[in-house]
Amino acid sequence: MSQESTWPNLAGIAYGGDYNPEQWPRETWREDVVLMRQAGVNLVSVGIFSWALLETSEGVFDFSWLDEVIDLLHENGISVDLGTPTASPPAWFFAQHPDTRFVMRDGTVMGFGARGMASHSAPAYQEASVRIATELARRYADHPAVVLWHVHNEYGTPVSEDYSPHAVRAWRLWLQERYTHLDALNAAWGTSFWGQHYTAWEHIGAPAITATPANPAQRLDYARFTDHQLRQCFIRERDAIRQYASQPITTNFMANQHDGCDLWAWAREVDVVSDDHYLWAADEEAEIGLAIAADLSRSVGGGRPWILMEHSTSGVNWQPRNIAKRPGQMRRNSLTHLGRGADGILFFQWRAGRFGAEKFHSAMIPHAGTDSRVFREVTALGGDLQRLSEVRGSRVQADVAVLWDFESFWAQGLEWRPTEDVTYAQQIRLFYERLWRDNVTVDFALPGQDLSGYRLVVAPAQYMLRLAGAANLNEYVENGGTLLVSFFSGIVDENDTVHVGGFGAPLEPALGVRVEEFLPLRENDRRQIHWADGSASGSLAWQEDLVVTTADVQAHYVDGPGEAGAAITRNAHGAGTGWYVSTRLDASGMRSLFDRVYADAGVTAGDHPEGLEVITRVGADAAYVTAVNHRDEPAALAVTGTELLTGADIAGALTVAAGGVAVIRTALPHPQGGDDPDTR
Amino acid sequence: MSQESTWPNLAGIAYGGDYNPEQWPRETWREDVVLMRQAGVNLVSVGIFSWALLETSEGVFDFSWLDEVIDLLHENGISVDLGTPTASPPAWFFAQHPDTRFVMRDGTVMGFGARGMASHSAPAYQEASVRIATELARRYADHPAVVLWHVHNEYGTPVSEDYSPHAVRAWRLWLQERYTHLDALNAAWGTSFWGQHYTAWEHIGAPAITATPANPAQRLDYARFTDHQLRQCFIRERDAIRQYASQPITTNFMANQHDGCDLWAWAREVDVVSDDHYLWAADEEAEIGLAIAADLSRSVGGGRPWILMEHSTSGVNWQPRNIAKRPGQMRRNSLTHLGRGADGILFFQWRAGRFGAEKFHSAMIPHAGTDSRVFREVTALGGDLQRLSEVRGSRVQADVAVLWDFESFWAQGLEWRPTEDVTYAQQIRLFYERLWRDNVTVDFALPGQDLSGYRLVVAPAQYMLRLAGAANLNEYVENGGTLLVSFFSGIVDENDTVHVGGFGAPLEPALGVRVEEFLPLRENDRRQIHWADGSASGSLAWQEDLVVTTADVQAHYVDGPGEAGAAITRNAHGAGTGWYVSTRLDASGMRSLFDRVYADAGVTAGDHPEGLEVITRVGADAAYVTAVNHRDEPAALAVTGTELLTGADIAGALTVAAGGVAVIRTALPHPQGGDDPDTR
Amino acid sequence: MSQESTWPNLAGIAYGGDYNPEQWPRETWREDVVLMRQAGVNLVSVGIFSWALLETSEGVFDFSWLDEVIDLLHENGISVDLGTPTASPPAWFFAQHPDTRFVMRDGTVMGFGARGMASHSAPAYQEASVRIATELARRYADHPAVVLWHVHNEYGTPVSEDYSPHAVRAWRLWLQERYTHLDALNAAWGTSFWGQHYTAWEHIGAPAITATPANPAQRLDYARFTDHQLRQCFIRERDAIRQYASQPITTNFMANQHDGCDLWAWAREVDVVSDDHYLWAADEEAEIGLAIAADLSRSVGGGRPWILMEHSTSGVNWQPRNIAKRPGQMRRNSLTHLGRGADGILFFQWRAGRFGAEKFHSAMIPHAGTDSRVFREVTALGGDLQRLSEVRGSRVQADVAVLWDFESFWAQGLEWRPTEDVTYAQQIRLFYERLWRDNVTVDFALPGQDLSGYRLVVAPAQYMLRLAGAANLNEYVENGGTLLVSFFSGIVDENDTVHVGGFGAPLEPALGVRVEEFLPLRENDRRQIHWADGSASGSLAWQEDLVVTTADVQAHYVDGPGEAGAAITRNAHGAGTGWYVSTRLDASGMRSLFDRVYADAGVTAGDHPEGLEVITRVGADAAYVTAVNHRDEPAALAVTGTELLTGADIAGALTVAAGGVAVIRTALPHPQGGDDPDTR
């Protein structure tokens, strides 16, 4: 974080979207600003893909049209989030520097004509991106319209791992810095396996395509290297801008959509977290994925408010079937983001482009124009957000943490895992989903961070777990915390090397079990477990052969390869409790599990109807309860206060309309943590 | 068309196939000509893959074996369709000119040893192909056996878009010719999107593989360029032959099988249209695809008779499951082609080859020899065709046109369309199929051509529609025509740019609706519409949010995202009617739709049993009704005249046997168009 | 075979596994040898992936650690199978010789960092592999621990066909040797098809990727060339070792898992056959595939005992779902291999590696350590094998041969066959499976070998059949043998050229039928046949139009394209009988077919319960019956003798426990062949 003040100089909630005036004639610009004011827009992102029009040949700049645009916006009271256009270098750049082309793992060289990512390790690209960022900052640092800087666009997409010669050179330097001695690298990578021992730095290549899986530790390091190189690109531009400009600087993340960037590390570098989010349309409950993304955006920023930099007013254009949002859905989505900590709601994009690859992406002004459902909803949302200005700056509080570790994501995603049927993303969703249905608000967290503030910590898939992280989790339980761990956790260390002692050994103190063997199920094989009370749940995808040391068995396998063995265990450890679930449970099983775990942790599930999403933000003087009704029927909420969208006073009970939303200013909750410190 | 006389100098219907004597010893040649005479063969295609045996090294020719073959055929009264062998350059050619290798979009360089297409833009290939064509013409122009020239083979297959350096160079020249100024190119391609602005012609590359979709207008132009380059290859060879030879010149199309060549443009260049057609075996009603191919072959040639240059006597060899034709099926296929305008019926190939990639392709003489079902059917067909000689030159007439625009095919086929579940080919088939089942004969047509002769024009998927085409369609309706338009029509102009006014705006005069938003359905989602009369039909894949301006709503959405909105509309416009259907209908829905549309258009569906395919050709003195019974039971046909295959006199009623065919000479129909000019 | 004595100098059955001490610290080595002795291990494979640690730079060797390992093993009475590490050259090798990189068919160059196969045709690789093999032999030839040499690892995996420039050069030389004259090559490859005629050796390339299938004869020769090049690599190393060492030399095959090596030819080069086998976990009866692999390993070695060089104690790591073995399953697998002729049972690997791509592969000591089910079973198996020492050297005898021809595998596997639904591997399995269920022991055989010792010969898919092989089969029948041939047999000769006379013509004497046409079925189409006795069976995937000449029709097609035609025929020919089955039968159909065929052949199916696998080995003084019970319930076996694992005397009947095994020493069978010579 480069300075203390980290929020754009804007009144109320930020509202707007990407604005690409270069795609339209000047008469449209004048219409745009009128319509923006009509819609309540106060912030637009400009210049994200404008490099070719700003630097027309190497070192030759033309800012005239951008001056005009920014002045026009300013005259109309609309602030600017000014982009650096470095996600898409111009045609002349690639013609002049053909060596900067991005190379895929199989050696395919990427052509020009899409979003033209260059090699993040190419010196020519690095220089050029700093040059344009510098020139933009020099020119617009003091423009009163500019309140935020937007570096690049969605780092890591559409491609991240570059295998060009420039990348290989940079990789060797990065490795020398990381390991200093080749012996350390050989040890970390386990090069005694398959005869991969290195005797010189210059013999090391990128983990390019091989006929059988490449060294997993090498690949994991390449993911780290790639993340590092991308982040250095950001830092280089950020620092160039900072030389001239004092506004906050951000770049738009893709939380829960692209896992190639370690957002914990990235969030430390930006002044304000911003995130892009798009519903996965094939998922009929895509709002759960949205909630994950919002909670992750908030969590990586340490709970600070953040900006939803892009979402869509309706359908997108890049999915197999681009489902349009139904009336009210965009409002629900927007309010969920806000309820989960966003203080800015922006869209891609202001006006639907007539040409190019994204012309079928929805926008604030669709191809059908302003006399349209979408523009009416956009305008209404602008009004809603003005009524919610006071929510700005308030914070979400959570009693539960779910572990989310990008490095473990990368490691688990490599080839030759025990079964294709288990992925990190799916495990996160499975556990989060139960908490979401129960309206238990969640932070995401790293295994090694201070977890003492949480009543419950959930590790749905912590495949890679450093010893220090494991020690932290054991200590968390010892000190009274409740820990819930799924199968395939605590397997390897930071080098994808199996822990001494076997699978899960580092967590044995907390969990009281060891895993003797993984027992993946055949495709679509569905088995059963029996709980101690005789009820049954489904066992899917995975079972295990457990050695129970100090734990109590809560459920047994009825059938499948684990037949008669322990399936779910509970371990009293110090002042706390460690739960272990060695199979994938069906929905009823997850409910049974969490009921028991909540009881241990002292967590109370919300008593609202399932599908009424309720989140609370806490401000200095009041709390704000956001209620989003995903159901097709009205839902009752017990609350007292003032509903801010309607101004209605609510005394004890509010009915949220089918598909509707409400935000209620209510009294501050009782102080946290003081009432029952001994029960945790 | 290079001259007026456009039919090979042959008596009756042309009959035969590809003949590859170079694969057989001379004793087989002598057997071949005897068997050809026995089978009624009068035309064979020779030399299509013979380059390596004719030009044994650069500029060194050996025509001796070909002289012998052609003389032998001539002595036996069999005419020759003489191929230029340029679809497969020799090994020496690629060894000498390695730069002529074809390059795929991802940079993969194609090896030698299959059908060895070279880069169509490589100067060495262009020179060599003209050289061999010239030498062939010089030598055989005056040979009395040669009645037709067959340039190359199936242009555009197996690959069409070449990404070699030669192609890129030619592409830049083609662009300069098309756009003259870079500004025009930047505007047409919408390069302000994603920062793709060009400042020099030499910065422009082919739209090679990119990590996210490349510029769609660039890709569309590359499809145009590729089509142009291939056609120039044809023209170059054609003109070389014409220097010496006066026989008609053709090349074999692949209508409804390969959509990379704009057959409307190609048909203008050939003296006679010829086409290859193979059943898609997985389709249990592959005869519908056959009918489409035949109607398209006829239509691109402006209704002129055409030659079925290749089809198969039984199964092919390149499909996942190569289903053999059942007894009688080859005869039905052949007669359908003839009924739809073909005056030549040829096969790939005369004798099944013992080696190479196509040895499991059926032939006129199968591996089992002449004592076989296939050869008996081949011989019988030869007799049939002799009995049908008088049909030659007669013409099919159609009251209905279905729009078929290759450029729209190319554009719709690019990435990132609203849903994967809608393709051009599938939409064409869906609408054509209903007309086929109703025995309503169809021409294919371009949106901008004179349509005034048709009672009904159907646009099943006119995604790309130029403003001029739209104006033509509006005018067609205004003047009394009936127009039926499906969803996803009239969306973009020739640059894949969304029309001003939104989706479908250019057709609003005729249709009286605008499309506010596309509402694709989820995979396998099946919904309902209700017609005004209360009947229901299925709504699949796609719905829309329609704004009805002047139209009447004929059916509403019962459920799905379009719930309660208009699904199908009818608009009175001038003297005509415009129908719009905004969803994919199930079979019953298509029947309901067409019943209503036929009534408006004054089109009468045939009253034959479904599956009895009936087509009429009209000659100078008589009409010829071809009846093909695809059913497993006999079918009655009301007709009076003489059945030509049996010679039987038919007075009012003919029973066509299960799986059988009939061709009846009957009286000329009443003159067209004179009886009800005001109702059209 | 380089010398007469072909078995490692070891007492009893060999037992052990791959041992990779280089992955572990020295203290683990000392623990390892103690545990090996505890487990009964007497042989370990060492050094297979140690190149980088043995030759630390070109020509610089460090054998110190290996000396230490081998001495330690020797001190503990454990013998060594010493590997040459040439399957994985060091990083320095590729850095120094970048031209040795393996190139895929599409031109992709393989990176370093997996199992780093170099181009088998690169001179630098050939030299380096001989150098390291020579140095190893020089140093360890006289070490008393070394009883076997293990060259390379699993030749042909993970990749076999190399398309590097080195391979192309070697390929041209191989072709010149094979064909001498280009005319012969042009004839063999049928280059008159598609214009592929060659006029110079240097114009010939590898059959690299093409847009449509490449010349099949060329591809088939490339498979032969690849097999030859790999085998030459083996021979080169073997001969280098033999200069110094007298121990037997082997390399580990992958029978029934990788079909790229012609194991008949390879078995002639090794002193002892060794094989790696892994269950295909998705197959719930993977023990059938195991039995095929074991019978093939025995058969290619001419019936000699062989070594199971690798199998797994539990799950592997490279399948989509790596199913763990259940208790007892590893013992059953091991005893089946032994029962089918293996005199050595080894595993990959001794100790589960903590790092690298295979860390989730099971091992003799799993990650969970020695207090584990797996290690207990490993130790128990060591005891079992000691009790079975006397079985060593005894031989399996079979009355039935199933044809297995690798060249036919390669040919049938090329593109553009009549249907994707028929593969060689699937046909082998289908026929073998019936014989397995009937406990009829099978040898695999080549069509051209002496078959006179077999009562029945089965050709489940002999697509490629040389005329000499066909003559041998006809003669076999004429002399009294029973031959059962499936559809798609006898189609092409060694050049993938269809036989003169049509499909199956070379076998017409034996079978009394010709195939007029293939009639593949549509996907999932299921039809029926009727047997002469009126019973029905399923007809799947394929039918044929048969011309029956001298055969009797045993079953007709009820429906499908072959409707009413012959489906299964039986032909009396000379003293024998030829059966032909022209469709894929369902399970009941296979039973009906084999019941009839057994009767003709005088083969008796075992009368044990299905799933009790029984195999007999015959020694000098006794026979050994191995019984493996794959059922979940006990099974009775009629046998008299001594059960060797328990020492129990068995008088007439033994009950094999559910999932259990037994090995019974019993009296020698009556002499073979003498009792009923006339009935064969």
pLDDT at C115: 85
Q: Token match 């009904």: residue?
A: B456
pLDDT at B5: 59
For the cut 60, the answer to whether the pLDDT of residue B3 exceeds it is no
Bridge-based pairing of strands A640-643 and B43-46 is: unpaired
Our CA-based measurement puts residue B459 at a distance from the nearest CA of chain A, in whole angstroms, of 21
Q: Are residues B227 and B327 in the same domain?
A: yes
Q: Which chains touch B (3 or more CB pairs under 8 A)?
A: A, C
pLDDT at A5: 59
Give the residue from C58, C117, C354 with the most A CB atoms within 10 Å of its CB, the best one to mutate. C354
Buried b (16+ CB within 10 A) or exposed e, B283-316: eebbbbbbbbbbbbbbbbbeebbbbbbbbbbbbb
Bridge-based pairing of strands A566-573 and A552-557 is: antiparallel
Distance of alpha carbon B273 from alpha carbon B297, whole angstroms: 7
Do C260 and C228 form a contact (C-beta atoms < 8 A)?
Answer: no
For the cut 70, the answer to whether the pLDDT of residue B2 exceeds it is no
The contacts of residue A516 (CB under 8 Å, 6+ apart) are A502, A544, A545, A546, A547, C366, C368, C372, C373
Buried b (16+ CB within 10 A) or exposed e, C288-301: bbbbbbbbbbbbbb
- When CB atoms are compared, the residue of B108, B314, B367 closest to C209 is B108
- Which residues of chain C have a CB within 8 Å of the CB of A543? none
C-alpha dist (Å) from residue C230 to B426, C260, C261, C415: 49, 10, 8, 24
Q: Which of B310, B407, B494, B613 is catalytic?
A: B310
pLDDT at C607: 85
Indicate the DSSP class of residue C69.
H
Q: Containing H/E element for A225?
A: helix A216-242
Give the residue from C212, C219, C492 with the most B CB atoms within 10 Å of its CB, the best one to mutate. C212
Strand boundaries in A385-480, DSSP class E: 395-396, 400-403, 442-445, 456-459
Q: C114 and A205 in contact by Cβ < 8 A?
A: no
For the cut 80, the answer to whether the pLDDT of residue C680 exceeds it is no
Residues B70-74 have a mean pLDDT of 98
Distance of alpha carbon C247 from alpha carbon C79, whole angstroms: 12
For the cut 50, the answer to whether the pLDDT of residue A52 exceeds it is yes
Looking at residue C48, which CATH number applies to its domain?
3.20.20.80
Q: B196 and A373 in contact by Cβ < 8 A?
A: no
Look up A310 and say whether it is catalytic: yes
Task: Kindly identify which residue of chain C lies nearest to residue B98, measuring between CA atoms.
Answer: C203
The contacts of residue B370 (CB under 8 Å, 6+ apart) are B35
Residues B7-25 have a mean pLDDT of 97
- Mean of all residue pLDDT scores within chain B: 96
- When CB atoms are compared, the residue of C111, C372, C373 closest to A214 is C111
C3, part of any domain: no
Do B643 and B664 form a contact (C-beta atoms < 8 A)?
Answer: yes
For the cut 80, the answer to whether the pLDDT of residue A676 exceeds it is no
Do B62 and B130 form a contact (C-beta atoms < 8 A)?
Answer: no
Distance of alpha carbon A349 from alpha carbon A255, whole angstroms: 19
pLDDT at A670: 73
Looking at residue A489, which CATH number applies to its domain?
3.40.50.880
pLDDT at C461: 87
pLDDT at A606: 85
What digits encode the pLDDT tens for the residues C213-269?
999 999 999 999 999 999 999 999 999 999 999 999 999 999 999 999 999 999 999
Rg (Cα) of chain B, in Å, rounded?
A: 26
Share of chain B above pLDDT 90, in %: 96
Distance of alpha carbon A319 from alpha carbon C372, whole angstroms: 48
Do A494 and A406 form a contact (C-beta atoms < 8 A)?
Answer: no
Do A226 and A104 form a contact (C-beta atoms < 8 A)?
Answer: no
- Which residues of chain C have a CB within 8 Å of the CB of B111? 205-210, 214
Q: Containing H/E element for B635?
A: strand B635-637
Q: Containing H/E element for C486?
A: strand C482-486
Q: A194 and C23 in contact by Cβ < 8 A?
A: no
pLDDT at A405: 98
Dihedral-angle region of residue C637 (phi above 0 means left; psi in -120 to 50 means alpha; beta otherwise) = beta
Distance of alpha carbon B487 from alpha carbon B504, whole angstroms: 9
Distance of alpha carbon A426 from alpha carbon A424, whole angstroms: 5
Q: Are residues C153 and C281 in the same domain?
A: yes
- Which residues of chain C have a CB within 8 Å of the CB of B115? 194, 210-212
Residues B277-303 have a mean pLDDT of 97
Q: Annotated active-site positions of C, please?
A: 154, 310
Q: Which of B349, B368, B393 is the last residue of a domain?
A: B393
The contacts of residue A671 (CB under 8 Å, 6+ apart) are none
Q: Are residues C170 and C278 in the same domain?
A: yes
Q: Which of A55, A287, A310, A377 is catalytic?
A: A310
- Which residues of chain B have a CB within 8 Å of the CB of A355? 189-190, 193, 216-217, 495-498
Q: Which structure tokens are listed for C311?
A: 């199998």
Q: Are residues A501 and A580 in the same domain?
A: yes
What digits encode the pLDDT tens for the residues C187-210?
999 999 999 999 999 999 999 999
Q: What angle do CA C295, C15, C230 make, to 5 degrees?
A: 55
Q: Which chains touch C (3 or more CB pairs under 8 A)?
A: A, B
Confidence label for C606 from pLDDT (cuts 50, 70 and 90): confident
Q: B323 and C516 in contact by Cβ < 8 A?
A: no
- Which residue(s) pair with C253 in the sheet? C275
- Mean of all residue pLDDT scores within chain C: 96
Bridge-based pairing of strands C536-540 and C584-585 is: antiparallel
Q: What angle do CA A141, A145, A146 make, to 5 degrees?
A: 40
C1, part of any domain: no
pLDDT at C117: 81
Distance of alpha carbon A155 from alpha carbon A48, whole angstroms: 13
Our CA-based measurement puts residue A477 at a distance from the nearest CA of chain C, in whole angstroms, of 24
pLDDT at C678: 42
For the cut 80, the answer to whether the pLDDT of residue A672 exceeds it is no
pTM: 0.97
Q: Containing H/E element for B478?
A: helix B467-478
pLDDT at C671: 61
Q: Are residues B324 and B178 in the same domain?
A: yes
Residues B62-74 have a mean pLDDT of 98
For the cut 60, the answer to whether the pLDDT of residue B680 exceeds it is no
What digits encode the pLDDT tens for the residues B482-507?
999 999 999 999 999 999 999 999 99
Indicate the DSSP class of residue B107.
S
Indicate the DSSP class of residue A342.
E
Q: Containing H/E element for C617?
A: strand C612-618
Q: Containing H/E element for B135?
A: helix B123-140
Q: Are residues A331 and A460 in the same domain?
A: no
For the cut 60, the answer to whether the pLDDT of residue A673 exceeds it is no
Share of chain C above pLDDT 70, in %: 98
pLDDT at C679: 37
Confidence label for C4 from pLDDT (cuts 50, 70 and 90): very low
For the cut 50, the answer to whether the pLDDT of residue C674 exceeds it is no
Q: Which of A333, A360, A393 is the last residue of a domain?
A: A393
Our CA-based measurement puts residue C453 at a distance from the nearest CA of chain B, in whole angstroms, of 34
Query: How many independent structural domains does chain C possess?
Result: 3
Backbone angles phi, psi at C92, to 5 degrees: -60, -30
pLDDT at B302: 97
Distance of alpha carbon A306 from alpha carbon A295, whole angstroms: 10
Do A259 and A156 form a contact (C-beta atoms < 8 A)?
Answer: no
Bridge-based pairing of strands A623-629 and A612-618 is: antiparallel
B3, part of any domain: no
- Mean of all residue pLDDT scores within chain A: 96
C-alpha dist (Å) from residue C492 to B359, C175, C496, C498: 10, 21, 5, 4
A109, part of any domain: yes
Q: Are residues B164 and B252 in the same domain?
A: yes
Do A550 and A512 form a contact (C-beta atoms < 8 A)?
Answer: yes
A193, part of any domain: yes
Distance of alpha carbon B421 from alpha carbon B427, whole angstroms: 10
Q: What is the interface pTM, i.e. ipTM, of the complex?
A: 0.96
Q: Cis before residue B158, ω within 30 degrees of 0?
A: yes
Q: Which of A601, A623, A651 is the last residue of a domain?
A: A601
Indicate the DSSP class of residue A109.
B
pLDDT at B588: 95
Q: Cis before residue A386, ω within 30 degrees of 0?
A: no
Q: A194 and C50 in contact by Cβ < 8 A?
A: no
B606, part of any domain: no
User: Cα A504 vs. chain centroid, distance in angstroms?
Assistant: 27
Q: Are residues B71 and B169 in the same domain?
A: yes
Q: Which of A55, A154, A161, A237 is catalytic?
A: A154
C451, part of any domain: yes
pLDDT at A671: 60
pLDDT at A518: 98
Residues A429-444 have a mean pLDDT of 98
Q: Are residues C595 and C640 in the same domain?
A: no
A5, part of any domain: no
Q: Which chains touch A (3 or more CB pairs under 8 A)?
A: B, C
Looking at residue A624, which CATH number applies to its domain?
2.60.40.1180
Residues B597-625 have a mean pLDDT of 96
- Which residues of chain B have a CB within 8 Å of the CB of A53? 192, 195, 197
Q: Are residues B208 and B163 in the same domain?
A: yes
- When CB atoms are compared, the residue of B111, B322, B358 closest to C520 is B322
- Which residues of chain B have a CB within 8 Å of the CB of C514? 368
Q: Are residues C82 and C161 in the same domain?
A: yes
Query: Which domain, by its residues, includes C622?
Result: 612-679
- Which residues of chain A have a CB within 8 Å of the CB of B518? 315, 322, 324, 360
Q: Are residues B464 and B377 in the same domain?
A: no
Distance of alpha carbon C257 from alpha carbon C280, whole angstroms: 9
What digits encode the pLDDT tens for the residues B631-650?
999 999 999 999 999 999 99
Give the residue from A416, A546, A547 with the most C CB atoms within 10 Å of its CB, the best one to mutate. A416
